[in-house]
Amino acid sequence: MFILIYLFSIVGVANLWRRRRVDHGRLLLLTVPFALLSALNLPAVSNVALGTLEWQFPPGQWPIDVRAIAVLGGTLAPPDRVGGRAELRQDTLYRCLHAAELYRRSKPCVVLVSGGKADPRSPGPPLAQPMRDLLLNLGVSGADVIVEGNSRTTFENAVECRKLLEARGIHRVALVTEAFHIMRSYKCFIKQGIDVIPSACHYQAPDSAWPTLLSDFLPKPGAGLECQLVFHEWVGTAWYWLLGRI
């Protein structure tokens, strides 16, 4: 359906250019944004955009010499009218699954789950609470889980985690979040004086910037969302730098 709408849009714009009575100056006001929007919806473009964040922290060996794993929360679906409980969204699930696997492969260590409520007025618990419940179901010992439920931003994640880690005399951690988010998170934790080993999950960018498939040049809605995600991260990083948070 998306491809059909896109193709009809191309035909419509091309037909306007064919008409001699159309003011081409005004038509450019339509064509240029349409061309930019089209480019942002190409996987070939979104893959490179994601790569600008992910290629800086390629997947590496599993860190096994840390005393703590800090896993940052993503998003949480509010309680619904069926089950009456909040549910972890896909981004948070990726992070918790990766943290649980890291915990099983590491020496005995604590797992610090970090995430509060973006809106204090929203229903449901702080994000860290259902993250803890999931980790327990994945085999992490309850005695090894530390809950940090006050932070609402990546910067606050780092600040609140530092307080809890310092109280336990821990200064070196494996940091778990999604690959597109690891750069800003890593810089925030480093700024707090924490020795960080980045351990990202859910890599989406290909290994190479060169497109290899014809489908990379066919627009899809997901590519536009990925570009929006990358834009948010780079703007957020620049804003944190201006504020001295990284």
- 3.40.50.620, 3.30.300.350, 3.10.450.50, 3.40.50.300: which CATH number matches 68-198? 3.40.50.620
Tell me, what's the pLDDT at 60? 78
Show pLDDT as tens, one digit a residue, over the chain (246 residues): 656 666 656 666 666 666 656 666 666 666 677 777 777 788 889 999 999 999 999 987 677 778 999 999 999 887 766 666 778 999 999 999 999 999 998 878 999 999 998 777 777 789 999 999 999 999 999 999 999 999 999 999 999 999 999 999 998 999 999 999 999 999 999 999 999 999 999 999 888 766 666 677 778 888 888 999 999 999 999 999 999 999
Q: Is 23 exposed, middle or buried (0-12, 13-18, 19+ CB in 10 A)?
A: exposed
In the chain, where are the structural domains located?
A: 68-198
| Tokens linked to 145 | 């889980």
Could you give the CA distance from residue 177 to residue 117 in angstroms, rounded to a whole number?
18
| Tokens linked to 129 | 């609470």
Q: What is the pTM of this model?
A: 0.84
Tell me, what's the pLDDT at 30? 66
Residue 13: which residues within 8 A CB-CB, separation 6 or more? Answer: 30, 31, 34
